[in-house]
Chains A and B, each alone.
Chain A
């Protein structure tokens, strides 16, 4: 899966599940927490998506903003793991 494919899938998941279909110009580097897009339970929904759909296991100590708090951060994190 290319970086672009990953970014598209993550974006689609966020827009569909947390922005109710309205991307409203979601930037790839926008912080999910700062923008109120996801809260702490929402992060786990994102983790479940990553584990189920992208088949990557996210460990407890990897639940940090640097890995999960924006489309770019998630893509970079996944690229390191794949």
Chain B
């Protein structure tokens, strides 16, 4: 690991696609982002105003909930719930996609956080054979187009695709006007923090994501996706997607401290980039073996560049070896 050249400003390695370094050892991605990093505060304020305005117009309008939150039980989505409840006082429904690899500590955290904040929660658990088939497929073969895999591992992309679909489907059925995600500021930029879902765009996006799967897997995934009829029946109630963490101060230490005050605990059985999933170490390892770079490296590099994470911490998150026991655990359960 010591022999890999790594950008001296962020943490991107020489193995990252399209990377080059200048004489000072700084990568082209850092140089490219210099101008936008300077504008972050201004952009964040403008988008925060838009979010405030959007929430003011939506709050209390629906009979049941103001927002549904995709809730993994991890640090970022737990903090998103806290923020939406305490800062905006929204009526929230949280939904957890049980991928059969959620850490027992994360389940405890889900119970603690939803009880403390006084909100309803749905645990959505598809049968293990279906989930196993989905993850085995993504582990064994590269199902997604190459550009998709620059942003996340194949396994995570499949799992998140299911999550996005399920929360949107629930929002449509219950006429909930907002769908919230706990993306970190490194995962999705400020300008994508507020998105009005468009039926045609969702339909195309969903099809594009799962079209590469074999017919048998597609058949099994199909019931979890947005039904064709919804694009017409619910065309006027497609909600906004928001990811508020991009617009608020984000410091892991502060977030963790505030969550711990609520009774949330950091799981001891997950990898350095997850606080809920027992499959992540395997997903990361598989991605690194295939592509030569860590699937979280762009996200963490963005956070280092933005100054919301220090470089040492970023290095630790990316260049710590995946726990072989966790990798083996996932392999065994998936029958690999």
Contact = CB atoms under 8 A, between A and B. Distances in A.
A16 B32 contact: yes
Interface in A28-75: 31, 33-45, 47-48, 60-61, 63-66, 69
Given A45-B191, A63-B198, A39 B205 contact: yes
Interface string B40-76: 0000000000000000000000000000000000000
A18 interface: yes
Contact of A40 (B147, B191, B201): B201
Interface in B204-227: 204-205, 208-209, 211
Interface residues of B, number: 31
B117 interface: no
Contacts of A22: 17-18
Contact of B200 (A18, A19, A65): A65
A45 B18 contact: no
Nearest to B39: A52
Given A31-B208, A63-B196, A65-B200, A37 B147 contact: yes
The size bracket of the interface on A is 20 to 34
A47 B148 CA distance: 19
Looking at A44, A45, A47, A60, the one whose CB has the most chain B CB atoms below 10 A away is A44
A31 B145 CA distance: 12
Contacts of B148: 36, 39
B145 A43 contact: no
B204 A69 contact: yes
A19 B28 CA distance: 14
B174 interface: no
Given A22-B17, A33-B205, A36-B144, A44 B195 contact: yes
Contacts of B209: 39
B147 A18 contact: yes
Nearest to A24: B146
B189 A45 contact: yes
Contacts of A41: 183, 188-189, 192, 195
A18 B145 CA distance: 12
A65 B201 contact: yes
B51 to A, nearest CB: 14
A61 B188 CA distance: 22
A18 B298 CA distance: 12
Contacts of A43: 192, 195, 201
Interface of B: 16-19, 28, 32, 144-148, 150-151, 183, 188-189, 191-192, 195-198, 200-202, 204-205, 208-209, 211, 241
Interface of A: 16, 18-22, 31, 33-45, 47-48, 60-61, 63-66, 69
Given A47-B191, A48-B191, A65-B201, 5 more contacts: A20-B18, A31-B208, A40-B205, A61-B198, A64-B200
